[in-house]
A and B are shown apart, each in its own frame.
Chain A
Amino acid sequence: MPNVDTSLAAEALARPETQTQIESLDLIAHSATLGVGLSHYLILSAILFVLGMIGVLMRRNAIVMLMSIELMLNAVNISFVAFSRFQNLIDGQIMVFFVMTIAAAEAAVGLAILVAIFKRFREVNIRFFEHLRG
């Protein structure tokens, strides 16, 4: 998708602090071998996300599934923060704020439901909940 990176690059060029860095491009080129950039953080968050997804897909324990969901949310948070940092926009951090709130709420509700179900069935295995099928 060439259009995306050109646009991003364009607005990157438009920003003053990047202008200065272009002037000292060779320096960056040297450190770029080891320098940590946006893509590193994004890839990290992608890996975390996929791990969480695997957990949700594979684990049987409902609580662990909830944990995996938290993992996925955190992965998203990482990419948000990374973007907000690398584009000098605060909005990403705001989004992280909201995501955290939602995640806490979701965990609370999920655990409450699990406690209620456990009180009844003494069981948190997800397979077992198929009995709750309407």
Chain B
Amino acid sequence: MSMDSFLFWFLAFITIASAVTVVTITNPIYSALALAMTMVGVSAIFVTLGAYFLAGVQLIVYAGAVTVLFVMVLMLFDLKHELSAFSRGQISGTIKVATAAALAGLLIGAIVWTVSGFERVVSKPAAPDSADGMRELSHALFTKYVFGFEVLGILLLIIAVGVVALARAKGGTHAQR
């Protein structure tokens, strides 16, 4: 069992386990922490895929900012164990689970069916030197995808303003008590 395959299985296990925790555990705080764990796992997976920069960004953005936001909000709300964490109704629940299962089956089936045909041929090529990889990435980002980049910048600006406005609004959606 070679190094990288071991790494992969290990990380996959951690990621999926923490993801399951996110979904199943009833205390939102814990699920937030599990989410952070998942993010770390995902970034590690990025590392195994040779996307070092993305791994770092993943940590900074998701683990460092987004999930921290979640945690802070949860702590502000001071939510303890919630009694009805999952939506009521056996029928709808079963339907939902069945749908999810069907989707999973379809996706995995599709992947296996499609990729296994050339799995032998397309095994992982040698990882590019990370510096070169990053140069390539940034070059593509600022030449080929510069428009999307700008648009995203504008989007972020708008969202910053909107979020500030939302947070400023007294009493949320219904201003008058």
Contact = CB atoms under 8 A, between A and B. Distances in A.
Interface of A: 1-2, 4-6, 8-9, 12-13, 15, 17-18, 21-22, 25, 28-29, 31-32, 34-44, 46-55, 57-61, 63-64, 66-68, 70-71, 74, 77-78, 81-82, 84-88, 90-91, 93-94, 96-98, 100-105, 107-109, 111-121, 124-127, 132
Contacts of A50: 100-101, 103-104, 107
Interface residues of B, number: 96
Which secondary structure dominates where chain A touches chain B?
A: helix
Contact of A94 (B4, B70, B100, B145): B145
Contacts of A85: 49-51, 124-125, 127
A111 B77 CA distance: 11
A86 B100 contact: no
Contacts of B54: 77, 81, 93, 96-97
B140 A94 contact: yes
Contacts of A84: 51
A114 B72 CA distance: 13
A112 B163 contact: yes
Interface string B89-131: 0000100110111011001100111111111111111110000
A107 B35 contact: no
Contacts of B19: 47-48, 51-52, 71
A4 B136 CA distance: 27
Contacts of A88: 125
Nearest to B42: A74
A81 B97 contact: no
B107 A67 contact: no
A35 to B, nearest CB: 6
